[in-house]
Amino acid sequence: MDRKRNRMSKDLERIRSRQAFIIDMDGVIYHGNRLLKGSLEFVDWLNRKEKAYLFLTNSSERSLLELSQKLARLGIMVDPEHFYTSALATASFLASQCPGGSVYVIGEPGLIQALYDSGFTMNNVNPDYVVVGEGRGYNLEALERAVNLVLKGARLIGTNPDLSGPVENAIVPACGSLVAPIELATGTKAYFVGKPNPLMMRHGLRRLDARREDTAIVGDRMDTDIVAGVESEIETVLVLSGVTSLTDITRFPYRPKHILEGVFEIPEQGSAD
């Protein structure tokens, strides 16, 4: 027991020594509109210790301001500059590939606005790309249009490969599941920009102005957060507050460096300095 406790203490010391943190949101900070245990204290600790931190989310639905306002409603005040989304990463990638192009989008305002801001126009006739993110606009009519546009030559882009995501007391389909019918109907594989794509991680490190050796990534998903950290050689911290359980870990050929019950374990208990 003492050996296990000592190892856990050393793991926490190593995590706390990182100068920069890349943090997932769903399943790490909140479920839907329910704040997870210790999230407020964790963000307070980041600020007190003057850590560089970025909430890097595969969700494409909200703008940076909306994400900031959501955390504010949950009681955590964080400036929009501390957020980065798969919508922004997707828009940046497409702008580098096809400046001034056009897109047909299945997604929410956060994704649409990011594409507009990057110089893209909306086009449901002959777009350069079909871009799919999460959103309530996904229906049979949109699916049929997307399939036919891809068959006519539009390239298929997904904001992120997540198959599901946590909400309050439930799991819902995410972008990877919504793109799958289009892939099957067209025989075309989508290109996903969000985690674990190294592009997303490089964007995060640049925004933090941090070296990978000084950074830790905190997430709840083995197939996006943890593999992204492993492939980018960033310290990995898996929290069991989201979609991954201890028994799930053995299904993957890679392991996180650290496993915690939640972010509440990271701040020094009882410390205010």
Among 159, 153, 152, 130, smallest CA distance to 142 is for 130
24 included as an active-site residue: yes
Letter for the amino acid at 273? D
CA end-to-end span of the chain: 29
Q: Which residues contact 92 (CB under 8 A, 6 or more apart)?
A: 118, 203
Question: Which tokens hold the place of 77?
Answer: 């005040």
For residue 151, how far is the Cα from the chain centroid?
29
Residue 239 β-bridge partners: 260
User: Which is it for strands 30-31 and 83-85: parallel, antiparallel or unpaired?
Assistant: unpaired
For residue 123, count other CB atoms closer than 10 A to its CB. Answer: 16
Q: For residues 157 and 144, what is the distance between their CA atoms, to the nearest angstrom?
A: 16
26 included as an active-site residue: yes
| Helices assigned H by DSSP within the chain | 2-16, 39-48, 64-73, 86-97, 109-117, 140-151, 175-186, 198-208, 227-232, 246-249
Q: For residues 58 and 84, what is the distance between their CA atoms, to the nearest angstrom?
A: 9
Q: Is 133 in contact with 86 (CB distance < 8 Å)? A: yes
Structural element, H or E, at residue 79: none
Among the listed residues 26, 128, 220, 225, the single catalytic one is 26
Among 132, 153, 154, smallest CA distance to 143 is for 132
Among the listed residues 2, 11, 24, 128, the single catalytic one is 24
**Catalytic residue set:** 24, 26
